[in-house]
Amino acid sequence: MKMQDNPEHLGKHHTATTVLCYSQIITQLSPPELLSVASESTSLCTMENYDFRNRPFATSDVFESTVQDFKILTTGHDVKKIYELDLSSKAFPFMPGDVIGILPCNSHSEVKKLFTRLGVEIHMRKRYKLTIKSDTVKKNPSMPKHIPPEGILEDIFLKHLDIRKPMKKAFLKVLSKFTQDKEELSYLEELCSPKGSAKYLNLINQSGRTLLGLLNTFPKSCPPMELILEHSQALQPRFFSISTSPLSGRLKITFFVVENADGTKGVCTG
């Protein structure tokens, strides 16, 4: 996969389309500040375009709803907190027992840490364009269906990628090509081998469960952005049962906050 700078957002001196990998854009464009930066007023989590998001239900439209009220239903220090969220129900009808799917966004702070770990934090709000490499050796290559071909780089990680889902062994195998540390290389090769299956499962159940946790496990490995996107998985909707009757005129859901062993909270509930 190749990331190409968008010519309409470059300076006037660029009259032709520049075809460069993202890592090359950083080092070869002179001066680098000619890369366009999105306006700071751009919303980080607006969802006006759902074409590249996994919809909760294939036959249903996507509705935007406003939170009308929010409260805690339980009390006590030794009791798990249960929350109730009151949403506007005017957008669509529902019946008792129906389920709604919510399109979540990843934590902005976690996404920022990812960009910092990859050494490209200054490029978070810059525009990108994805294309297939002309010299790829893969058969029938195609663009990832869950990633828009162009837009703001940070928005991919906020709205489209599941950065909490464990990465597959194929990613670890490619990751081994981007470390100069012999111990990291040996460990990665062991994890990818048939004999390393138990250690791989142990890793993804502990420090390497999330993308950031995995990258921090191998601090001397610095994969390019293209590799992350190529091996990424789509951010899935989260489902909740409606806990009210349509006769009430309100659509409410109840839930508790998911707290993970690594200190992170649920993508949707946290």
- 86 occurs within a structural domain: yes
Q: Which of 146, 154, 165, 162 is nearest to 49 (CA)?
A: 146
Q: Rounded to two decimals, what is the model's pTM?
A: 0.76
Q: How many domains does the chain have?
A: 2
Longest dimension (CA), the chain: 66
139 and 206 in a common domain: yes
Question: What span, in angstroms and rounded, lies between the C-alpha atoms of 134 and 209?
Answer: 33
In the predicted model, what is the mean pLDDT of residues 27-50?
35
Q: Which residue has the higher pLDDT, 40 or 129?
A: 129
Instruction: Give 136's contacts (C-beta < 8 A, 6+ positions apart).
Output: none
The answer on 215 and 129 residing in a single domain is yes
Same domain, 156 and 246: no
**Residues 151-201: tens digit of each pLDDT:** 889 999 999 999 998 888 889 988 999 998 999 999 999 999 988 889 998
For residue 53, the SS3 value is: coil
Question: What is the rounded average pLDDT of the residues 48-56?
Answer: 69
Q: Is the separation of the CB atoms in 110 and 270 below 8 Å? A: no
The model's pLDDT over 75-126, given as tens digits with 9 standing for 90+, comes to 888 888 898 988 876 667 888 788 888 889 999 999 999 999 999 999 898 8
Query: Can you state the angle between helices 197-204 and 182-192, rounded to 10 degrees?
Result: 110
Give residue 248's domain range. Answer: 60-104+237-270
CATH number of the domain encompassing residue 97: 2.40.30.10
Q: Is residue 270 part of a domain?
A: yes
Domain co-membership, 177 together with 117: yes
- 82/128 same-domain check: no
pLDDT of residue 52: 75
Query: Between 238 and 270, whose confidence is greater?
Result: 238
